[in-house]
Copies of this chain bind each other. A is one copy, B any other.
Amino acid sequence: MTYCVGVLLEDGVIFASDSRTNAGVDNFATFCKMTVFERVGERVIVLLSSGNLAGTQAVINVLRQGCADGGAVDDVMGARTMFDAVRVVSDAMRDVEDRDAKYLQANKVGFNASFIVGGQIGAEPMRLFRIYAEGNFIEAGADTPFFQTGETKYGKPILDRVLTNRTSLSDATKCVLVSFDSTMRSNLSVGMPIDLICYHEGSLQVTSRRRLGVGDPSFAALSAQWGEGVRQVFRRLPDLD
């Protein structure tokens, strides 16, 4: 399983992904699920991957090789808008699926790679998308400012209660990390390290990126203080009649 979250705020975009992959409970591994395409002062595009690792790695490689060939409008570093960039990702997904699907189907496996893609290109506003495994996609807005993929349920209530597109980057970051903490407590197939980017609106570069590993002291403090805070809130709630 996987857990990835993207949040589109007025002040920026938050991207977070876990790093655990597994093929059964006896076969765990660690892979980064976050990919950044960046040209400082011009564009930042962040991809969060979920689904079959062979599929998502193939898509990322197709995208990287496309860029290495040189900044055309049909690659991620050349796309004029975020919409065009997401179409490029979608096309790469369909290319990989076209190549792999019949071999996967022979073993009754589906092509299930999917992505959260967001960022900013030039003067365009920041944008955030969620691409389904079929390659079609939706875009976040003020009503629904975040997307999750993977094991989404355990960590959703806290996002629902706290996040609006006006939440500060700092509060939203803490909220996303609490959402990860809740998810990792309940599903062993979601695990550290957590890759985290807080993109600041208009910066057109990644200034705040961090990897939170097992035992990270600030994550542990956040988790402990959150748990204590929540228990205090309960103690202060009025009793039912």
- Chain A residues proximal to chain B, CB less than 8 Å: 153-158, 160-162, 170-171, 173-175, 177-178, 182-183, 185-186, 210, 218, 221-222, 225-227, 229-241
> Is A234 within 8 A of B154, CB to CB?
no
> Is B233 within 8 A of A237, CB to CB?
no
Known: A160-B185, A238-B225. A230 touches B233 (CB 8 A): yes
> Is A222 within 8 A of B237, CB to CB?
yes
Known: A156-B154, A161-B227, A186-B156. A221 touches B238 (CB 8 A): yes
> Is A226 within 8 A of B233, CB to CB?
yes
Known: A162-B231, A162-B234, A237-B226. A185 touches B157 (CB 8 A): yes
> Is B162 within 8 A of A182, CB to CB?
no
When C-beta atoms are compared, the residue in chain B nearest to A239 turns out to be: B170
- Considering the complex of A and B, which 7 residue pairs feature the smallest CB-CB distances, nearest first? A229-B233, A153-B153, A157-B182, A170-B239, A174-B237, A171-B234, A161-B227
Taking the nearest CB of chain B, how far is it from the CB of A168, in angstroms? 9
Contacts of A226 in B (CB 8 A): 233, 237
Known: A160-B186, A185-B157. A237 touches B218 (CB 8 A): no
Q: How far is the CA of A186 from the CA of B93 in the complex (A)?
A: 30
Contacts of A178 in B (CB 8 A): 234
Taking the nearest CB of chain B, how far is it from the CB of A154, in angstroms? 5
When C-beta atoms are compared, the residue in chain B nearest to A216 turns out to be: B240
Contacts of A170 in B (CB 8 A): 239-240
Q: How far is the CA of A168 from the CA of B234 in the complex (A)?
A: 11
When C-beta atoms are compared, the residue in chain B nearest to A171 turns out to be: B234
> Is B160 within 8 A of A157, CB to CB?
no
> Is A186 within 8 A of B157, CB to CB?
yes
Known: A171-B235, A174-B240, A218-B241. A230 touches B156 (CB 8 A): no
CB<8 Å pairs between A and B, sample of 21: A154-B157, A156-B186, A157-B158, A157-B182, A160-B182, A160-B186, A161-B227, A162-B231, A170-B240, A171-B234, A173-B240, A174-B237, A174-B239, A175-B234, A177-B240, A178-B234, A218-B240, A221-B238, A225-B236, A229-B232, A229-B233
Taking the nearest CB of chain B, how far is it from the CB of A203, in angstroms? 18
Contacts of A171 in B (CB 8 A): 234-235
Specify which of B153, B235, B238 is in contact with A154 (CB 8 Å cutoff).
Answer: B153
